[in-house]
Structure 1
Amino acid sequence: MLALTSVWTTVLLAAAVALGPLATDMYLPALPSLGGALGAGTDQVQLTLSIYMAGFALAQLICGPLADRFGRKPAMIGGFVLFAAASIGCALANNIETLILCRFLQAIGGSAGPVLGRAAIRDIYTPRDAARIMALLASIMALAPALAPTLGGLMLNHLGWPSIFIALAGYALVMALVVAVGIPEPMASENRQPLKLCTLMANYRSIGSDLSFVGYTLTNSLTFAGLFAFLSGSSFVLIDFLGVEPQLFGLYFGVMVLGYISGNLTAVRLGKRLLPDQILVRGLVIAVAGGSLMAGLAIMEVFRVWAVILPQAIFMMGVGMVLPQTMAGALANFPRTAGSASALFGFVQMAVAAGIGALVGHLHDGTSLVMAVIIAASAVAALATYLLLVQRHPAAGFEPVSGGVPGQAS
């Protein structure tokens, strides 16, 4: 097996965490055609995306404590197997109701990757190092959503939409095998928590009352909501409204992902000389600039592909700087209950995203206006949350160090 601090362990964890984005991004080009295939309206089709996020949110509250009791690997492997089975159910669905149900089950299994990937990084590294490693992990992981829509569009055109879910099932089974044989258990045995309801509730109460956790989690969730507003509305805006071919959708989507990767790599580089919170505020300002530009263009009725993609790429550069810092900050105070902290963090993040996704679908007016305004509003709200909470309650371990090289967390 690989060493926990090996770069290849980070790569494998990124591949495991990528299962969540793949489950949304790969089938984005198929969303408009799913309505015709299954006799469903736009709001029902978008519900397959929102229900996934809602299930993802709820499942994390169970997945995290299970991982704190039994270890990261068993929970992750079990989640991947469930994800694979549910993906096959999605491929066989012959009506929208069945697809929605299977997407919910798919989310329950898929939650294991992001929750336990974050927890594993916290197990291995100090809080300050974790911010840098999470940024590196995110840049590696971003290759999946960069390629997924293009691959999904090609599969849609040549093999039909069920093939997308078959491919997701195969990926999940491969990752279950990789985690089983390639990655050591990152959680120290002395940190395992009893699986008792009173202990679980006490842990969640302690985590949820920590103002540092609340600040980083809400800042992350509101920023992620802007990203999810784009995921929820982009295929309808670009394909239905602006006439982009489904097989080309992934290329435009890739421009947005390049913005995200550039933000991740910028955070990695700046992490050598700036504090995580200093990187965070810079990312928030960039996200506000990108979201505001898109909203301004839409309000002026500049309805062009570039008026959506270029502002979103700027927004995503900010997202790439914000998300790793907020993830590390939220988990910084909880080395012994990183699984539960990661679960509560993920629950809030996905619950907010699911609500925003449903809002985009409900208010969609056939243009890019609703999506753009919601993205801008999410970025502004995230910056306000940072100023009101995070600045007043920064994470422990994010303060300057006098010397030495940060090592592994104890």
Structure 2
Amino acid sequence: MRAVTAAPPSRVERPLATAVLVGIAALAPIAVDIFLPSMPAMSREFGASEGTVSLAVTLFIVAFAGAQLFWGPLSDRSGRRPALLAGLALFVGGSLLCLVAASIPVLLAGRVLQGLGGGVGPAIANAVVIDTYRRERAIGVLALITLSIALAPMIAPVFGGIIQEYASWRVVFIFQGAVGVLLAAAFFLLVPETNRNPDPAALRPRRLAANYRRLFRSRTFVTAALLMGLLFAGQLIFISTSSFVLVDDLGASPLGFGFAFGFVSFGIMAGATVCRRLSRRWPPGRIVLTAAATGWAAATVMVGLAASGAASLPATVIPAFLILAGNGMARPAATATALGEFPEIAGLASAVLGFSQMALASGASIGFAAAVEPGPGTLAGGMFAASSAALALLLLGRPPALSLRAPAPGTDVAGATGRPTPPSPPRR
């Protein structure tokens, strides 16, 4: 195993550099959601069906998910900066292709390029955090990233709607390209290279296979990946079902649905804020277990109310808020712990964690939609099943790195596993 030398406490720990990492992680959700208000206008201009135009969202997400598995190991091989800048260049190129698109196929090709480039964001941002910070600070910064990812879907459609109202859908892609250029310039100027020991063989098939085996033999990593996928599955079930349940079954107006959905989404931000505050005092295992138990308790109440015939807007929205708050609270601590076992392949580990979370959650959400009709009871049952599975997984398979005991003073992210941490300069 290669020796690991932690990055010195340099410019990367300054607030502006942290803000750049947060922005990079939020780029993909911004690119998805700022585009939504323009879809009807694009459908009219190109004479295409709404289903065809919606492929611009689906293809972006598929490309984004898969691209992480390339950018992560590339950053282990060549460094975080070259990989990040190459990914952002591809994102900007995709934005320009969408801008000049004269047909739907060209537009879809541009969105695929955007997704392939956007996949660099979470993989590199998380890896830079693990390269740089001790455990409690890593959890705090990852909580900020979680906040940004939750906030982007709430704000981006507003900006997209304003642009569509006063300009056109093409300006949306000018904005996206400009954001990509701005983030690339800010990263180049503010964030130094944090991968101090790049591995020239990181992309070779034999080394990749060995590194994948290391990841999936780790009880900590596998538990965290499954846990995050299950928690995200409950979130996707709510996202895909809530409009039918809240409007058609519970009588919310479109405006009321917007406020209710925003309130539930705010739960992720509230949970991430709590996690950030607790990260200096609680070990990650206690944070994750508290978060999972909170989500399960709320889901139990939600399904009990639905089963008793007491389903209502508050009886659905308030428990859902608490479930998503548990998600936002668990994610940063679980991510920091899982990635902390593999500082020398943090890029690959971050990519696999992100991809597996999206794959598991998407599969569960699609299966749920195919199996049941939307309703207060099925929504509650789906979120209860996901929350119960997550809590059971944590209780039955919790590895030592997610124990409830605090690690020894001075232990960093990797040190939470009990392995000796290589000497490094003191970090904040």
* TM-score normalised per structure 2: 0.80
> In the TM superposition, what are the counterparts of 1:171-182 in structure 2 within 5 Å?
171-182=179-190
Supply the distance in 2 between the matched residues of 1:32 and 1:131 (Cα, whole angstroms): 40
Structure 1 197/116 Cα, relative in aligned 2: closer, same or farther at 3 Å?
same
Counterpart for residue 236 of structure 2: 228
Q: Does 1:327 align with 2:335?
A: yes
Contact 1:26-1:148 within 8 A present in 2 as well: yes
Counterpart for residue 38 of structure 1: 48
Q: CA deviation at 1:158?
A: 4.9
Supply the distance in 2 between the matched residues of 1:398 and 1:207 (Cα, whole angstroms): 22
What do residues 92-147 of structure 1 show as CA deviations (whole Å, max 9, x unaligned)?
A: 66777666554443221111110111100110023444223312443355443332
Structure 1 253/149 Cα, relative in aligned 2: closer, same or farther at 3 Å?
farther
Counterpart for residue 198 of structure 1: 206
Q: CA deviation at 1:356?
A: 3.7
Structure 1 230/62 Cα, relative in aligned 2: closer, same or farther at 3 Å?
same
Q: Does 1:62 align with 2:63?
A: no
Where structure 1 has 5 or more consecutive residues not aligned to the other structure, the ranges are none
Q: 1:400 aligns with which of 402, 406, 412?
A: 406
Contact 1:151-1:250 within 8 A present in 2 as well: no
Counterpart for residue 6 of structure 2: none
| One-letter amino acid of the structure 2 residue matched with residue 39 of structure 1 | S
Deviates more, 1:89-98 or 1:67-76: 89-98
How much identity, in percent, do the aligned residues show?
A: 33
What do residues 174-201 of structure 1 show as CA deviations (whole Å, max 9, x unaligned)?
A: 212211222111111x243423221112
Q: 2:142 aligns with which of 123, 134, 144?
A: 134
Contact 2:60-2:111 within 8 A present in 1 as well: yes
Contact 1:50-1:357 within 8 A present in 2 as well: no
Structure 1 223/182 Cα, relative in aligned 2: closer, same or farther at 3 Å?
same
Contact 1:156-1:164 within 8 A present in 2 as well: yes
| One-letter amino acid of the structure 2 residue matched with residue 352 of structure 1 | L
- The SS at the match of 1:187 is coil
Counterpart for residue 5 of structure 2: none
Q: Does 1:217 align with 2:225?
A: yes
Q: Does 1:271 align with 2:275?
A: no
| One-letter amino acid of the structure 1 residue matched with residue 199 of structure 2 | R
Counterpart for residue 375 of structure 1: 383
What do residues 203-257 of structure 1 show as CA deviations (whole Å, max 9, x unaligned)?
A: 11211221211001110111122223334445666678866558x8765443234
- The SS at the match of 2:195 is coil
- The SS at the match of 2:280 is coil
- The SS at the match of 1:225 is helix
| One-letter amino acid of the structure 2 residue matched with residue 279 of structure 1 | I
| One-letter amino acid of the structure 2 residue matched with residue 24 of structure 1 | V
Counterpart for residue 295 of structure 2: 287
Supply the distance in 1 between the matched residues of 2:269 and 2:15 (Cα, whole angstroms): 18
* TM-score normalised per structure 1: 0.83
Contact 2:16-2:190 within 8 A present in 1 as well: no
Q: CA deviation at 1:64?
A: 0.8
Structure 1 27/201 Cα, relative in aligned 2: closer, same or farther at 3 Å?
same
Contact 1:230-1:371 within 8 A present in 2 as well: yes
CA RMSD of aligned residues (A): 3.7
Report which of the two structures shows the higher radius of gyration computed on alpha carbons.
2
Counterpart for residue 60 of structure 2: 52
| One-letter amino acid of the structure 2 residue matched with residue 383 of structure 1 | L
| One-letter amino acid of the structure 2 residue matched with residue 38 of structure 1 | A
Contact 2:143-2:276 within 8 A present in 1 as well: yes
Counterpart for residue 325 of structure 2: 317
Supply the distance in 2 between the matched residues of 1:292 and 1:91 (Cα, whole angstroms): 47
- The SS at the match of 1:4 is helix
| One-letter amino acid of the structure 2 residue matched with residue 73 of structure 1 | R
Structure 1 380/106 Cα, relative in aligned 2: closer, same or farther at 3 Å?
farther
Q: 2:192 aligns with which of 184, 188, 199?
A: 184
Contact 1:134-1:328 within 8 A present in 2 as well: yes
Contact 2:78-2:198 within 8 A present in 1 as well: no
| One-letter amino acid of the structure 1 residue matched with residue 191 of structure 2 | I
Supply the distance in 2 between the matched residues of 1:301 and 1:50 (Cα, whole angstroms): 36
Structure 1 73/399 Cα, relative in aligned 2: closer, same or farther at 3 Å?
farther
Supply the distance in 1 between the matched residues of 2:314 and 2:168 (Cα, whole angstroms): 29
| One-letter amino acid of the structure 2 residue matched with residue 139 of structure 1 | L
Q: Does 1:4 align with 2:15?
A: no
- The SS at the match of 1:186 is coil
